[in-house]
Amino acid sequence: MKIGFYPGCSLETSGKEYSQSLHAVAQKCGIELETVKDWCCCGATAAHSLNHDLAIALPGRTIALAEKQGLTELLVPCAACFSRLASAQLEIKGSEHVRKQMEDYLEMPVTGNIRLLTILEFLEEHIFPVAEQYIVNKLDQKVACYYGCLLARPKESTRLQRPEDPMEMETVMKKAGASPIDWAFKTECCGAGLSVSRTDIVAKLSGKILEDAVDRGAESIVVACPMCQMNLDLRRKEINKQLNRKIDVPVLFVTQALGLSMGIPADQLGLNKHFVPTSNTVSCVARLEK
């Protein structure tokens, strides 16, 4: 089975382990991810604040290329990329004027009719139906499922059942044998694109997220956004300084955690590439008795 795949910039650079673990899980379940040919940057995070037409045209080009490739579903694992593609799709489908304008800019037809999938929709619809036969381990940890801003907003495009208190990622983690905690910061902002320009703000916002998770017993944080993962993981030194305490819980992508439960080796999931060591999580994996 083939599903369209848009990696975006992050999954080929700072979030390579996300792509690596996603492909490993998909392959395990017999799914081939077909990358959109000649894809380009979606414009996150600055295009929509600088030029409205460009903010539609950049993700619109990828949508047009995916349609040209004959894809009917397109997995967009990065939350920021999904937000930009979904916003462009809404405008293209919602206005004939915008659609024709985009076709003029792009010099190719675009309908916006392709179905865009978040990582959680992909897991629920394409991985869950076959996952049970591949799950051999139990991720014996308390985990904090962190959605961040763009995986939960706006509700019209993200389609979570409970945008203010989503539970879709918790469902994934329960299948992996983990114990999701109840906590207060699952949809709060980590600081997003301010990671370089205002690291102090990222340290303050991400620090609150990590502190609440740890104080409620979390032994690891699970995310589905490469920007969130980078801020919570890469900026740990600045976060610990801001909090005046050491927090050493690892931050895993949801596909890495699920991959561990499927018996995929840690290095194939990219768990050796994190700044905060993931060894405690890897060592807590327990073999299921079947």
Domain membership of residue 168 as a residue range: 134-287
Same domain, 145 and 265: yes
Number of folded domains in the chain?
Answer: 2
Q: How far apart are CA 54 and CA 58, in angstroms?
A: 6
pLDDT for 88: 94
Cβ neighbors of 126 (< 8 A, separation 6 or more) are: 1, 3, 26, 29, 31
Q: Which long-range contacts (CB under 8 A, 24 or more apart) does 157-166 make?
A: 157/82, 157/83, 157/86, 157/87, 157/90, 158/82, 158/83, 158/86, 158/118, 159/118, 159/121, 160/120, 163/187
The series of mean pLDDT values per 10 residues for the chain, 290 residues long, is: 93 92 96 96 77 92 97 95 93 95 96 95 93 90 93 73 85 94 93 81 94 96 94 94 95 96 95 93 75
Domain assignment of residue 13, yes or no: yes
Same domain, 55 and 171: no
Same domain, 56 and 13: yes
Same domain, 6 and 41: yes
Domain assignment of residue 186, yes or no: yes
Same domain, 145 and 271: yes
- Closest residue by Cα to residue 223 from 270, 247, 187, 261: 187
Strand order in the sheet with 2-5: 32-35, 2-5, 73-75, 115-117
Same domain, 104 and 16: yes
Tokens of 249: 């819980």
CATH code where residue 94 lies: 1.20.1050.140
CA–CA–CA angle 203, 197, 79 (5° rounding): 70
Cβ neighbors of 124 (< 8 A, separation 6 or more) are: 168, 171
Domain assignment of residue 129, yes or no: no
Q: How far apart are CA 114 and CA 4, in angstroms?
A: 10
Helix axes 52-68, 96-106, angle to 10 degrees: 80
Q: How far apart are CA 204 and CA 189, in angstroms?
A: 11
Same domain, 89 and 19: yes
Stretch (H or E) spanning 274:
none
Same domain, 144 and 277: yes
E-strand stretches of the chain:
2-5, 32-35, 73-75, 115-117, 137-139, 142-146, 179-180, 220-223, 251-253, 285-287
Same domain, 175 and 66: no
Place of tokens 């916003």: 87
CA–CA–CA angle 106, 110, 113 (5° rounding): 150
Same domain, 186 and 87: no
pLDDT for 285: 83
